[in-house]
Amino acid sequence: MRPEILFPLFAPASSLKGVGPKIAPLVERAAGPLVRDLLFLRPQGLIERTPTTVAAARDGEVQTFRVRIDAHMPPRRPGLPYCIKASDETGHIFLNWFKGYGHHLEASHPVDSWRMVSGKAECLTGRWSIAHPDYFLPVDRAEEIPRHEPVYSTTAGLASRTLRRLVQTALERTAELPEWQDPAWRARQAWPGWRAAMAALHAPLSPADLDGTAQVRRRLAYDELLAHQLAMAQRKAQRRATPAPRIHHAALADRMESDLPFRLTGAQRRTLSEIGGDLASGERMSRLLQGDVGSGKTVVAMLAMADVAASGRQSALMAPTEILARQHFETLAEPLEKAGIKAFLLTGRDKGSGRKVILEALASGEAQVVVGTHALFQDEVRFKALTLAVIDEQHRFGVSERRRLQEKGDAVHLLALSATPIPRTLELTLFGDLDVSRLDEKPQGRKPVLTTAAPTLRMPEIVKRLDQAVASGAQAFWICPLVEESEHLDVTAAEDRANALRQALGPHRVGLIHGRLAPAQKDAVMAAFADGQIGVLVATTVVEVGVNVPNATIMVVEHAERFGLAQLHQLRGRVGRGAAQSACLLLYDPPLSATGKARLSILRETDDGFLIAERDLQLRGGGDALGLRQSGLPDYRFVDPVAHGDLMAVAADDARLILQTDPKLESPRGQAVRVLQALFDWKPDASWSSAG
C-alpha cells in the first residue's frame, strides 16, 4: 500500500496545470506517466543566461543581451523570417522568427524600446543573429529570465522549457518526506534532506552540479540504492525462509575428488564448502558461482551433485546449447559412473524410445544426474526428487526458463554458474538477492595467453603464419563478429572468411560453425574440431559459450573493435587450456578510437577477468558496461555504477541492518523506509531473476 504522503507524487502528470490532452503523451514519453517521474528527471545540461554584450558574444551559445530595437523588417517573401534589427553599445544583432509573428511583434516591441533578449546567438559572415529567442522581454521584467537553467532531454514536440516548468510545478507539490537515512550517516555525509536535494537537483548552478559526484546527486543515488538493496534483501530473506531438504556432505564426493587427475584450487575448495553449507542448512540455496572462463566451475558443480546423489536425490545441470550440454555430459559421465552415480543426457534431439527411457529414469529416480538443454524444463520431464538445479551460463536463460526448472521439485536448491566476471560493486546490484561465491583463482600451470593486436591489412601475413602453425599440428579458432546485428550478414561474412581460408590452407583444414546450422551439423563440425580433423574453426560468436578444446592454441578475432571487452576476454578463454603456449590475435580496422585502444591494451596487459571487468566499467563509465543492461542492471534513475560504486556496499549493509532490527518495517525509521520503497516502486522482482 502506498503511503498517503506520496499521493500527490503518484498522481498522473496530466493532473498538473498546463498538461492538456495534447502534451500529456509527450510528457509521458519524456518523463513518465506520473508527477514523480517529472521529479525524477535528471537535468542533462545547464544554460547560463548571464547577460553579455554583442561584442563579447560567443558563437553558438545561449546568451542574454540588453538591446534597443532599431527596425522591424517583415519578410519580403514567404519562407523568409520576420526580422528585428537590434543593437547594444557594442554591435548589432538580428532577431528572426520564421512563423508569422509580424503584427504582434511590431506592436509589443516598438522601435527604440529596450529589451532583454535571450537565446542561441550565431554569427554568420559577421552578422550576429538569434532565431526564435527563448526570452524577449521589456527590461523591467529582466528577472523573469533565469540565470541558470536546467536542460532536460525532452522529446520531439515538447519544449525543454515546458518540461522545466512542469518540473517546477511538480516540486511545488512535493512535501518533505520522513528521513529514511540513518541520521548519523547522513550527518557524516553532510547531505541535505530529501526535498532540498530534489529542489537542488533541478536548480544546478554550475556544470559540477550535474555530475554524479555532486553531493545532492550522491544523496539521491544512495536513496535509490537503499531502496533497491532493501528489495533484494527482502527477497533473499523470503527465499531463505523456504525449508529445503538438508543434504550432507558424503564420502562419495571425497572419493570422486581424490580420483580427479588434478588437485582442486583453494578457491574451488572454498566454494564447495560454501555450497555445502547451504545444502546442509535446511534452507533453500540460491547461490551464484562466479568464475572466469577456465576457472573450473564444472567440477565444483559435479561434486555438489555427487552429495545430492549420495543422499538419494536428483540433480539437473542445464546448459544453454546442445554443444555445451554434450560436452558437460562427456566430462561428467565417466567420473559419475565410476562413483556409481547414474547420469543421463537429455536434449531436444532425443526423440522416441530413447527419450522415453530417459524420462522414465528421471521419473523413477533411477537417474540421479541429468545433463541437458532447454529440453529439461518441458512438461513431460518429471523428476522423482529433483533437489539441485545447476544452471550453466545462467545469463543465457530467461527468468521463466530458470523458474520452470526449479519448479520441477519442491524447494529446489539453485546453483547458477556465470563466466562473466562482474566487478564487486555491480555484483551487489545484479545479484544482491543471491549468495555469491567467487572462483578467483585459476588452476595451476595455466600459461597466460599471448595477446597481440594487429590491423586487418596484415591479414595475408597472418594467414601465412596460420598455415605454418596448422601444418605443424596447431588448431585455431577464427571468430567473425556480428555484422550490424544482422544474423544473415554475419553468416555470410563467416562463410566468406571460411572460403578464403580454405583456399589458403586447403579445403579440408577449415571448418565453419554458425547459428544457422542445424544442431547435428554444429555437433559434427565441433566434434571434428575437437578430434583434430579440422585445423581452423571459423565461427561466429557461437563458440563464445563454454566450449572446451584443449588442443586449440590460437584465437584470431576479426574486427575485435566491435566486441565488448568482456566478450573478447571470454573468447580468449577458449584457448590456453592445454599445456602448450597459446596466442590470441585481435585484428582491428584502423583507426581505433581512444577507448578502443585502451580496451585492446587492457586485454594485452592482464588475464584476470575480474580486473578486466573493473577496468571496462571505468572505461565505459556506468550504464551499459559489459552489456549489463541485458544481464539485468536495473534502470536506475540516479545511480551511476561508477560514480556511486562506493555507496553500493554501504547501502547493502544498511538494508541488511534495517531488516535485521525491524523485519516488518514498523519502527519510525522502518515507516520512513516504506515511504522510500514506495517512492521508487521497486518490484521485488527487480533482481537477477527478472533479467534475461
Give me the DSSP letters along 530-594.
HTTS-SEEEESGGGGTT---TTEEEEEETTGGGS-HHHHHHHHTTSS-SSS--EEEEEE-SSPPH
**Radius of gyration of the CA atoms of the chain, in A:** 32
d(CA 12, CA 7): 10
Binder among 154, 265, 286, 553 for ligand ADP (CB under 6 A): 265
Nearer to Mg ion, 150 or 546 (CB): 546
Query: Count residues contacting ligand ADP (CB under 6 A)?
Result: 17
DSSP 174: P
Binder among 262, 531, 666, 667 for ligand ADP (CB under 6 A): 262
d(CA 343, CA 360): 13
Minimum gap (Å) between residue 548 Cβ and ligand ADP: 5
Nearer to ligand ADP, 446 or 562 (CB): 446
DSSP 483: B
Q: Choose from Mg ion, ligand ADP, none: what does 9 bind? Cβ within 5-8 Å by kind.
A: none
Residue with grid cell 594487429, as numbered in its chain:
454
Binder among 291, 335, 481, 535 for ligand ADP (CB under 6 A): 291
Site membership for ligand ADP, residue 264 (CB under 6 A): yes
Minimum gap (Å) between residue 574 Cβ and Mg ion: 11
Binder among 443, 448, 519, 621 for ligand ADP (CB under 6 A): 443
- Residue nearest to ligand ADP according to CB distances in the complex: 296
Binder among 291, 421, 535, 546 for Mg ion (CB under 5 A): 546
Binder among 53, 492, 548, 551 for ligand ADP (CB under 6 A): 548
Q: Choose from Mg ion, ligand ADP, none: what does 262 bind? Cβ within 5-8 Å by kind.
A: ligand ADP
Q: Choose from Mg ion, ligand ADP, none: what does 622 bind? Cβ within 5-8 Å by kind.
A: none
Nearer to Mg ion, 418 or 425 (CB): 418
Span from 104-112, 262-270, 491-499, 672-680 in contact with ligand ADP (CB under 6 A): 262-270
Q: Choose from Mg ion, ligand ADP, none: what does 204 bind? Cβ within 5-8 Å by kind.
A: none
User: In the stretch 414-433, what mask flags binding to ligand ADP with x, by CB under 6 A?
Assistant: -----x--------------
Minimum gap (Å) between residue 331 Cβ and ligand ADP: 7
Binder among 164, 239, 297, 569 for ligand ADP (CB under 6 A): 297
Q: Choose from Mg ion, ligand ADP, none: what does 299 bind? Cβ within 5-8 Å by kind.
A: ligand ADP
Minimum gap (Å) between residue 297 Cβ and ligand ADP: 4
d(CA 530, CA 549): 6
Span from 18-26, 74-82, 291-299, 604-612 in contact with ligand ADP (CB under 6 A): 291-299
Span from 130-138, 289-297, 308-316, 403-411 in contact with ligand ADP (CB under 6 A): 289-297
Q: Choose from Mg ion, ligand ADP, none: what does 291 bind? Cβ within 5-8 Å by kind.
A: ligand ADP
Query: Count residues contacting Mg ion (CB under 5 A)?
Result: 1
Nearer to ligand ADP, 200 or 299 (CB): 299
Indicate the SS3 state at residue 331.
Answer: helix
For 653, residues 6+ apart whose C-beta sits below 8 A from its C-beta are none
Nearest to 246 by CA among 307, 317, 288, 299: 307
- What's the chain's length in residues? 692
Binder among 118, 298, 373, 677 for ligand ADP (CB under 6 A): 298
Helix ranges (H only) for 192-265 are 194-201, 215-240, 251-259
Nearest to 280 by CA among 258, 256, 308: 308
Give me the DSSP letters along 263-300.
PPPHHHHHHHHHHHHHHHSSB--EEEEEE-TTS-HHHH
Site membership for ligand ADP, residue 449 (CB under 6 A): no
d(CA 321, CA 460): 34
Q: Would you say the C-alpha torsion 55, 60, 61, 66 has a positive or negative sign?
A: positive
Is the separation of the CB atoms in 690 and 632 below 8 Å? yes
Burial class from Cβ neighbours inside 10 Å (0-12, 13-18, 19+) for residue 262 reads: exposed
d(CA 239, CA 234): 9
Residues at the contact surface with ligand ADP, assessed by CB under 6 A: 262, 264-265, 268, 291, 293-299, 419, 443, 546, 548, 577
Note the residues at the interface with Mg ion (CB under 5 A).
Answer: 546
